[in-house]
Amino acid sequence: MMRAMTAPPPPVSSPAPRRGVLADVLDPHAFRVALYVLLALPAGGLVVLLLTVGVVGGVLTLALVVGAALLLGALWLVGGLADVQRVLAGLLGVSFVRAGPPPAYTGVWPWVRATLSDPATYRALLFHVVQFPLAALCWVVLGTLLALTLGALASPLWWLYPPLFPLVWRDSTVTPGLPVVAGLLVLGFGSLLVLGGVLNLMGRMWTRLTLALLGGDMGYEAARREVMALRRAAGRVALGDDLDATLADLAVQARLASTAQAVALLAPDGTSRASSGTAPAEWFQEFGSARPDQSATVPQGEADVRYTAGGATLVSFPVSLPPSAEVLDGGTLRAVYTPGMRPGPDELAFLLSIADHAGTALHAAQLIERAGTRAGEQERARLARELHDSVAQALYGITLGAKTARATLDRDTEKARASLDYTIRLAEGGVSEMKALLFSLRPDALEEGGLVAALTGHAQAMEARHGLTVFADLPAEPHLTPDAQAAAYRVAQEALHNVVKHARAHQVWLSVAQAGGWVTLTVRDDGRGFDPEQQGRGTLGQRSMRERAAGAGGTLEVRSVQATELGTESGTTVTLRLPAAPAEPQAAALATGAQS
């Protein structure tokens, strides 16, 4: 039993502008309604027959086992035949969506209790009971109108060939005259128009009846879909990775959670940014008689509701950006509905929320672009300062040294040689400084060569930029997980930064060793040291290093000695111990095989 089937909430009907006298007759929807009415009578009769046989037969044979089976079958048919009716309702343009998977029951009695306690069962049963007599009434009305229409429109044949339609009145044959034929033709056309209008009304009646009795709790389902759509839209906007993908997803969510046939997000110049659904182009762009409907006021904004040239309902919402944005006009969100249909105020409020999310996405894209531009400008300014303070000064010194060497080359060879040596040292320092700048511009060295390569590059940069002598003992790449590798690199960075900022050291020892399932990283300097007892748990940098070590499952130890007397050794040692990553199964197997 498909009780989870629900239909979209019925839009509020609104009188569409007239498109012609024969609009109802020539509308393809009228022919689908006629086909539905044609099938509804035999389908309703078959349903009534099956349910009657099941219930009556079950009651009469209740003393036997077959009676209970017939009653259970009749109960199952209530839902099963409702599913058939939902499929048949597709002729009316009514579609149902499954809210979720059907519930699973562990036995017959739990299913019976759940089915009998479900209001959808009684609504479906009421539809089965009402369908047959209502379909019979529709047949009578449509049959009468159709017979009257065909008979009246065939009156010219009666006038031209009286023997084909013999009408005897009191022993005399009645022959129509031309005024009678003209009157019958007018009656026939009138009946045809009435027939089209009646089909339109029947279509609305059956649509509402189907939605009311075969649909679920439409208000709840509509609210649930809208909440889920807004939740997904908010998450997509917060992600902010791709503006085009975000706007496309917003358009899809707006269409799926509403009754609109198509939704589009348009730029201020009218070009499409994103769209979902299909609809004729004139439904979006042409306004026919350009008669604006009364604007429907919704919270924090207004919806512009108009009729298009094709008779559809077009609703437009402004996509507004906050006052801090560079461009306040974000375009419009347009939703188009099938002719004669119009959304309710709750759906208008939902679409307005989607338009607000689109404005937020546009503003976020502007902020990201602005931040990227500003970051680029700041990075260029930083590089300009670094180049001016280091490489440019080195090049200037190289120029002076080369000019001095050239001027003294003939008369003072020793001075020229000293100038050339000075120039060479400046050139080497400039090369080292340039390497340090290039290292700072590269992507994370961990991703390129691992921990050893990253620490080696960082040590070379410190030697070039700060004049420190770094003794690096980095024999081999340790076995660490990616998280532990990143923690080790960041701890080493912070420790070396503290050496430059606080220690006033001249030499630094950096080592990495792996033994006994542990990897040990050590950073030691010959600086002035500090008093650990006065500093407690350390500065913010030390707390950050300890948190990184704990997050990777390791420990951090900081030992420092201050120089109390002249000649006493001082310095600080930072020791990080991290668990080594387990060896891969294949590598372990190969190692075991080699040992054996």
Assign domain 467-581 one CATH number from 3.30.70.20, 3.30.565.10, 3.40.50.720, 3.40.50.2000: 3.30.565.10
Decide: 76 and 1 in contact? Cβ < 8 Å. yes
Contacts of 572-575 with C-beta under 8 Å, sequence gap 24+, read 572/498, 572/499, 572/503, 572/524, 572/525, 572/527, 572/529, 572/530, 573/522, 573/523, 573/524, 574/491, 574/495, 574/522, 574/523, 574/524, 574/545, 575/520, 575/521, 575/522
**Nearest Cα to Cα of residue 44 among 110, 132, 164, 174:** 132
SS3 301: strand
pLDDT of 573 over the 60 cut: yes
Cβ neighbours of residue 87 closer than 8 Å, sequence gap 6 or more:
none
HSE-CB at 208 with a 13 A cutoff on CA atoms is: 9
Q: Which is higher by pLDDT, 531 or 85?
A: 85
Does the structure show a pLDDT above 60 at 100?
Answer: no
pLDDT at 393 over 80: no
The answer on pLDDT for 187 being more than 60 is: yes
Is residue 193 very low, low, confident or very high in pLDDT (cuts 50, 70, 90)?
confident
Supply the pLDDT for residue 296: 39
Q: Can you tell me the distance from the alpha carbon of 283 to that of 338, in angstroms, rounded to the nearest whole number? A: 9
Look at residue 587 and tell me whether its pLDDT is greater than 80: no
Lowest mean pLDDT among 154-163, 259-268, 493-502: 154-163
Q: Which range scores top for mean pLDDT: 37-46, 102-111, 268-277, 278-287?
A: 37-46
- Helix, strand, coil content of the chain in percent (nearest 5): 60, 15, 25
| Per-residue pLDDT band at 430 (split at 50, 70, 90) | confident
The alpha-carbon radius of gyration of the chain (Å, integer) is: 43
C-alpha dihedral (103, 105, 108, 112), degrees to nearest 10: -40
At residue 63, does pLDDT exceed 60? Answer: yes
Contact in structure between 440 and 423 (CB atoms under 8 Å): no
Can you give the pLDDT at residue 39? 92
Q: What whole-number distance in Å separates Cα of residue 344 and Cα of residue 260?
A: 11
Q: CB-based contacts of 524: which residues, under 8 Å, 6+ apart?
A: 508, 509, 571, 572, 573, 574
Greater pLDDT, 417 or 325: 417
How do the domains of the chain map onto residue ranges? 22-99+106-214, 219-286+300-360, 467-581
Strand 469-473 with 507-515, pairing: parallel
CATH superfamily of this structure's domain 219-286+300-360:
GAF domain (3.30.450.40)
- E strands present in 33-156: 97-98
> What was the pLDDT predicted at 10?
43
Q: Pick the range with the lowest mean pLDDT from 203-207, 396-400, 438-442.
A: 438-442
User: Distance between CA atoms of 349 and 269, rounded to whole angstroms?
Assistant: 25
Residue 1, pLDDT score: 39
Q: What is the mean pLDDT of the chain?
A: 77
Report whether pLDDT(124) > 60: yes
Digit-coded pLDDT (tens) for 207-237: 888 888 887 655 555 666 667 777 776 766 6
In 3D, which of 483, 451, 499 has the Cα closest to residue 549? 483
Q: Give the DSSP letter string of 390-458.
A: IIHHHHHHHHHHHHHHHHHTTT-HHHHHHHHHHHHHHHHHHHHHHHHHHHHHSSPHHHHH-HHHHHHHH
pLDDT value for 593 = 43
Torsion of the alpha carbons at 237, 240, 245 and 249, rounded to the nearest 10: -10
Contacts of 312 (CB under 8 A, 6+ apart): 261, 279, 280, 283, 336, 337, 338, 339
CB 528 within 8 A of CB 503: yes
The pLDDT confidence band at residue 578, using thresholds 50, 70 and 90, is very high
- Beta strand 469-473 with 296-298 is unpaired
Q: What percent of the chain has pLDDT over 90?
A: 9
Assign 542 to helix, strand or coil: helix
Q: Are 96 and 5 in contact, with CB atoms under 8 Å apart?
A: yes
Fold identical between 219-286+300-360 and 467-581? no
User: Which residues have C-beta within 8 Å of that of residue 209, sequence separation ≥ 6?
Assistant: 127, 130, 134
Query: For residues 488 and 578, what is the distance between their CA atoms, to the nearest angstrom?
Result: 8
Band (538; pLDDT cuts 50, 70, 90): low
If one compares 164 and 68, the residue with the highest pLDDT of the two is: 68
Candidate ranges 289-298, 364-373, 499-508; pick with highest mean pLDDT: 499-508
pLDDT at 534: 65
* Beta strand pairing call for 313-320 and 12-13: unpaired
CB atoms within 10 A of CB 108: 10
So what's the pLDDT on residue 21?
Answer: 57
Residue 282 predicted with pLDDT over 50: yes
pTM summary value: 0.43
Residue range 147-163: mean pLDDT, rounded? 78
Who contacts 527 (Cβ-Cβ below 8 Å, separation ≥6)? 499, 502, 503, 504, 505, 570, 571, 572
Which has more confidence, 195 or 512?
512
Contact (Cβ atoms closer than 8 angstroms) between residue 139 and residue 41: yes
111 versus 282: the higher-pLDDT residue is: 111
Any idea what the Cα angle at residue 87 is, between residues 83 and 93, rounded to 5°? 135
Q: What is the model's pLDDT at position 584?
A: 53
Question: Phi and psi at residue 317, in whole multiples of 5°?
Answer: -125, 135
Q: What is the pLDDT of residue 62?
A: 81
| 424 to 408, 466, 469, 474, 567: CA distances (angstroms) | 17, 19, 20, 29, 36
Q: Is the pLDDT of residue 555 over 90?
A: yes
- What is the C-alpha separation between 533 and 9, in angstroms, rounded? 71
Confidence label for 354 from pLDDT (cuts 50, 70 and 90)? confident
Q: For residue 168, what pLDDT is reported?
A: 60
* Average pLDDT, integer, range 168-185: 71
Quote the pLDDT of residue 289.
35
With bands split at pLDDT 50, 70 and 90, how would you rate the model's confidence at 257? Answer: confident
Q: How far is CA 145 from the centre of its chain?
A: 52
DSSP state of 344: -
Q: Does the pLDDT at position 165 exceed 70?
A: no
Provide the pLDDT for residue 595: 41
- Per-residue pLDDT at 112: 85
What was the pLDDT predicted at 574? Answer: 93
**Residue whose structure tokens are 């159709």:** 146
Average pLDDT over residues 347-365: 84
What pLDDT does residue 240 have?
62
Task: Judge whether residue 585 has pLDDT over 90.
Answer: no
